Structure 1
């Protein structure tokens, strides 16, 4: 097993092929193959984070996504944002999130604060 950093697209593609084969083989953790899979997965993840970064979600889209995930309606959002009119204004992008709203949304719905602030 010769493992080295992934510097090029070819290195990345080669590592992906090996990872795919190892995943199909489903090696036990702690075995040489299991260790190789774990290390290559870390290298692939690092390469992807550096070369294919994902843009941060829009704060309002993150709120809407969480509402959809949890089946929440406008009345359900009132403890986090305020009265129904304010919820509609925020969801329409007509009102910015306040620091208090961000704190409540983060604590109550586990939406990352960095996403709600828009700095992730």
Structure 2
């Protein structure tokens, strides 16, 4: 019931398969969480790849109506963090000042030190 705005930035070289899959799953989970916990809220998705990194940022606004009580078991963010950690990246997630929620994942194309 909400709107989703997508922006992408080009990668000068192909993004490795494991990073593509992790990025896809992170965006997917963040969209599901926004729908579940902030129904009707607008969502902004940004996916950019350059300098050996893929960055995915998903920000939802304040809910337009009440979310599903007790929805989810809280494993979505844990799963995102595990995916990002496996690729030597970083995940930052938490509430925004405007009453929404933000997920920012940065994943290296090659593990650090390679």
TM-score by length of 1: 0.26
Report which structure shows greater RCO (CA 8 Å, sep ≥6). Answer: 2
Q: Return the structure number with greater helix share.
A: 1
Query: Rg bigger for which structure?
Result: 1
TM-score by length of 2: 0.27
Q: Return the structure number with greater strand share.
A: 2
